[in-house]
Amino acid sequence: MTDLSLHIATSDGPAEEAGLRDYWQLLKPRLMSLSVFTALVGLLVAPGGVHPFLGATSILWIAVGAGASAALNMWFDADIDRVMKRTRNRPIPSGRVAPSDALAFGLFLTVLSVTMLGLTANWVAAGWLFFTIFFYAVIYSMWLKRTTSWNTVIGGLAGAFPPLIGYAAVTGTTPVEAWLMVGLIFMWTPPHFWALALFVKLDYHAARIPMLTVTHGRDETRRQAWLWSLGLVAVSLVTAFTAIGGPLTLAVALVLNAVWLQRAWAMYRRTDAEAEADKHLAERRLFKWSLIYLFAHFAVFVAEAALPFGGW
Amino acid sequence: MHQDHEIHVRRRGRNFGLLAVLLGFIVVIFGLTVVKVTSGGFSEAFDHVARPALVPDASLNEVPATSAPEVSQ
């Protein structure tokens, strides 16, 4: 947006000026915090270690990269955001940020974050960061989100990469341990999101987004959440027997997964009428546990690496 | 008397925010430079010789003094 266009806008009536807060909102800071946390874990559990300043700045560039993909997603999804109540007040649909500004912002941050991560850490990590941004902005946002009900699964994959990037920033490699951390978040995302979709009235149907609850029904969503939970448990237990795991991880994983399975089963074995009757108690309980689950699981990886008795 | 243009008044918060971000960027670049230079991992000032980073095991390339070829007259 040029200064000239601003003058024209203000002379017709005050168009709300975009502030720093609006650009911050374009980065989806809440999603960014998950990326920062899991990338930090990937960096801390990687063997070899890294200079603290290089580690901190690597995390900064991963966070900026996550923000860049969010900005590009908001630019492309502005038409959807305009329709849904939850997203109507975002910077682009509210008119505070011009779509072209958001696009330029996202592209600039993409180039900045990938280049800086390459210079700070290595080009393997930078390459995976670029792939993640591309996957989220192009493969997910522009293509599959609007065409398939597996969009949650595909979108979840993009959110699963930060620990691998953090690991690669230290070692320059992506061994099986890094991929298992990706697998953990990948398997965790669908049941986490579907539990939320079952108790919050998300108006995706108004925006014509093919969510599983709409395309396949709520019963099928419960069944899918249960099946993905089984996959999650399998990946979780495998991580305990790798270089990033150990006896402590195994013990914590057993508890986390036992509670998860109990709650996912409770959600699966009931009807919508029962859910309505107790205001979606089982769905809420699984959703809350999913937040604790991911945090605790990744925290135990760090504990395993940091404690003197950690590891096998 | 000097009077700020309306757009400067309106964008004051945003401009100061951008200033803070740019100053932060300078600090990060400066810090990276210091760490990279002092750890010696970023630039290797070798010319016309094999870079040590490219040699799998530098000790293997050392020619023992006793095995140096003798020059026959």
Whether residues A54 and B7 touch (CB distance < 8 A) is answered with no
Whether residues B17 and A20 touch (CB distance < 8 A) is answered with yes
pLDDT-derived band at B11 (thresholds 50, 70, 90) equals confident
pLDDT tens string A203-221: 777 777 888 988 899 999 9
A98-112 burial by CB neighbour count: b if 16+ within 10 A, else e? beebbbebbbebbee
Q: Which two tokens stand for residue B1?
A: 């008397």
A10 falls within a domain? no
Q: Give which of A57, A101, A115 to mutate to test B binding, by max B Cβ within 10 Å.
A: A57
Contacts of residue A123, defined as CB under 8 A and 6 or more positions apart, other chains included, come to none
Q: Which two tokens stand for residue B32?
A: 């990276």
Average pLDDT, chain A: 91
pLDDT tens string A274-286: 998 999 999 999 9
- Name the percent of chain B lying above pLDDT 90: 26
The whole-number pLDDT of residue B10 equals 76
Tell me the C-alpha to C-alpha distance, in Å, between residue A110 and each of A102, A131, A143, A201. Answer: 12, 11, 19, 33
Q: Residue A293 is which amino acid? A: Y
pLDDT-derived band at B66 (thresholds 50, 70, 90) equals low
Q: Which two tokens stand for residue A218?
A: 């709520």
pLDDT tens string A63-78: 999 999 999 999 999 9
B7 CB within 8 Å of a chain A CB: yes
Of B14, B17, B35, the CB nearest to A51: B35
Number of domain units in chain A: 2
Domain end among A146, A174, A202? A174
Residue A265: pLDDT above 80? yes
Contacts of A19 in chain B (CB under 8 A): 13-14, 17
H/E run at residue B47: none
pLDDT-derived band at B6 (thresholds 50, 70, 90) equals confident
The CATH number assigned to the domain holding A57 equals 1.10.357.140
DSSP annotation of B64 reads P
- Tell me whether residue A291 is exposed, middle or buried, using C-beta atoms within 10 angstroms of its C-beta: 0 to 12, 13 to 18, 19 or more: exposed
Q: Which two tokens stand for residue A13?
A: 């009536």
A104 falls within a domain? yes
- Rounded Cα distance between B54 and A283, Å, is 56
A2 falls within a domain? no
Taking CA B11 as the corner, what is the angle to CA B10 and CA B13, rounded to the nearest 5 degrees?
110
The count of other CB atoms within 10 Å of the CB of residue A227 is 14
Contacts of A57 in chain B (CB under 8 A): 28, 31-32
The whole-number pLDDT of residue A308 equals 84
Residue A228: pLDDT above 80? yes
- Considering the domain architecture, whether residues A134 and A148 belong to the same structural domain is answered as yes
The closest alpha carbon to A302, from A233, A232, A241, A248, belongs to A248
- Rounded Cα distance between A88 and A209, Å, is 16
- Considering the domain architecture, whether residues A187 and A166 belong to the same structural domain is answered as no
Higher-pLDDT residue of A86 and B52 is A86
A5 falls within a domain? no
Of B7, B35, B39, the CB nearest to A6: B7
B10 CB within 8 Å of a chain A CB: yes
Whether residues A20 and B35 touch (CB distance < 8 A) is answered with no
pLDDT-derived band at B50 (thresholds 50, 70, 90) equals low
pLDDT tens string A87-143: 899 999 999 999 999 999 999 999 999 999 999 999 999 999 999 999 999 999 999
Of B7, B28, B31, the CB nearest to A3: B7
B38 CB within 8 Å of a chain A CB: no
The whole-number pLDDT of residue A192 equals 96
Of B7, B14, B35, the CB nearest to A19: B14
The whole-number pLDDT of residue A46 equals 96
Whether residues B32 and A6 touch (CB distance < 8 A) is answered with no
Contacts of residue A132, defined as CB under 8 A and 6 or more positions apart, other chains included, come to A65, A66, A69, A158, A161, A162, A165
- Considering the domain architecture, whether residues A38 and A119 belong to the same structural domain is answered as yes
Site of tokens 């502005």: A78
Tell me the C-alpha to C-alpha distance, in Å, between residue A66 and each of A102, A254, A305, B51, B69. Answer: 14, 31, 26, 35, 59
The residues of A whose Cβ lies within 8 A of any Cβ of B are 3, 6-7, 17-20, 51, 53-54, 57, 60, 119-120
- Rounded Cα distance between A163 and A128, Å, is 11
Q: Residue A211's domain spans which residues?
A: 175-312
- Considering the domain architecture, whether residues A144 and A41 belong to the same structural domain is answered as yes
The closest alpha carbon to A273, from A264, A282, A260, belongs to A282
Mean per-residue pLDDT, A172-180: 97
- Considering the domain architecture, whether residues A104 and A195 belong to the same structural domain is answered as no
B35 CB within 8 Å of a chain A CB: yes
Q: Residue A222 is which amino acid? A: R
Q: Give which of B25, B30, B36 to mutate to test A binding, by max A Cβ within 10 Å.
A: B36
- Considering the domain architecture, whether residues A205 and A246 belong to the same structural domain is answered as yes
Count CA within 13 A, CB hemisphere, residue A47: 9
- Rounded Cα distance between A133 and A126, Å, is 11
The alpha-carbon gap from A34 to the nearest alpha carbon of chain B, in Å, equals 22
